[in-house]
Amino acid sequence: MAVRYIQTCRLPTPFGVFDMHGFEEPDTGKEHVALTLGDLNSSEPMLARTHSECLTGDALYSMRCDCGYQLEEALRSIAREGRGILMYLRQEGRGIGLLNKIRAYHLQDQGADTVEANEKLGFAADLRDYSMCKDMLEHLGIASLRLMTNNPRKVDALMSYGINITERVPLHVGRNPHNEHYLDTKQSKLGHWLETHQDDDPQES
């Protein structure tokens, strides 16, 4: 078991009133949450986002990444749809942690790109784990997703755990002069889909 369910409460937000479900990893004590809106029992695929924690972007308004912009747009999209789930995963800095992310940012200030900075610190470019998502979705009774992401590795990782993704929904927001190089590096080195051409995306072909 990757995570165990703890409790559910209401969470009013500027985008709508969500249900927040808390989960914990028994082995590590790491905590994750899922925000849901609307009918969880429908057989229709649910609009979804898996969002890894980014304190700097989500809470401190950093313009070095697109994380905070994507978080807000995902919640807006779910609210517009009237039904959806956002799984907020506590794995800061693509899995390297907050203080190491600050070290990586320092290296980026010296000219390294986001991948090079991780590698200079002795980490892989992306250490995130999505195994907990399967348990969260099974607990909530959600069988299939329309996933909001630009990251092909995320799609592949979730599908490798048996999660049914029926559609990949682009999430292109937040480009600015401070994160252009970061976004271009994600496209060139990590294979992110930063264009909306459907023929580039196997989930939409």
Asked whether residue 112 is assigned to any structural domain, the reply reads no
The pLDDT of residue 128 is above 80:
yes
Residue 102 domain flag: no
Domain that includes residue 132, residue range: 4-91+128-190
For 169, the token pair is 């929904």
Identify whether 203 is part of a domain.
no
Q: What is the CATH number of the domain that holds 34?
A: 3.40.50.10990
Q: Is 128 a catalytic residue?
A: yes
Tell me whether residue 201 is in a domain.
no
User: Per the domain annotation, does 103 fall within a domain?
Assistant: no
The model's pLDDT over 57-116, given as tens digits with 9 standing for 90+, comes to 999 999 999 999 999 999 999 999 999 999 999 999 889 999 999 999 999 999 999 899
DSSP assignment of 77-133 equals HHHHHT-EEEEEE--GGGGT-HHHHHHHHHHHHTT--HHHHHHHTT--S-----HHH
Given 128, 135, 146, 168, which residue is catalytic?
128
Q: What is the pTM of this model?
A: 0.88
Structural domain total, the chain: 1
Which positions make up the binding site for Zn(2+)?
54, 65, 67
Q: Are 73 and 171 in contact (CB under 8 A)?
A: yes
Evaluate whether residue 152 is within a structural domain: yes
- Whether 114 maps to a domain, the answer reads no
Taking the C-alpha atoms of residue 23 and residue 36, their distance in angstroms, rounded to an integer, is: 14
Catalytic residue flag (residue 126): yes
Instruction: Yes or no: say if 146 and 169 are a contact pair by the CB < 8 Å rule.
Output: yes
The 10 Å Cβ neighbour count of residue 192 is: 18
- Which of these is catalytic: 58, 66, 126, 135? 126
The upper half-sphere exposure of residue 154, i.e. CA atoms within 13 Å in the direction of its Cβ, equals 24
Task: Read off the pLDDT of residues 170-180 as tens digits, 9 standing for 90 and up.
Answer: 988 888 998 88
Question: Does the residue 47 lie in any domain?
Answer: yes
Q: Name, in order, each residue with C-beta under 8 angstroms of 57's C-beta and a sequence gap of 6 or more.
A: 64, 65, 66, 67, 68, 69, 71
**What digits encode the pLDDT tens for the residues 144-182?**
999 999 988 899 999 999 999 999 999 888 889 988 887
